[in-house]
Amino acid sequence: MRICATFRTTGVSAGLVAVAAVCGLLAGCSSGGADGGGARSAATASEQAVAVGLTSAEQVASTLERSVSTMTTTVVYTAATDPDHLLGTSRGYLSKVAFADSRVQPADVEGTKVDAVVRGGSIETFATAAQAHARARSIESGAQGTASAGEYHYYVGASLIRVSQVLTPAQANDYELAASSLG
Residue pLDDT, tens place only, 43-68: 444 444 433 567 899 999 999 999 99
d(CA 40, CA 32): 8
Helices (H), 10-151: 14-28, 42-51, 57-67, 129-142
Query: Given the DSSP bridges, would you call strands 159-163 and 152-156 parallel, antiparallel or unpaired?
Result: antiparallel
Query: Residue 95: in which H helix or E strand, if any?
Result: strand 95-101
Total length of the chain: 183
Cut 0.95: pTM above it: no
Summarised one tens digit per residue, pLDDT across range 7-37 is 433 232 333 333 333 334 333 443 333 344 4
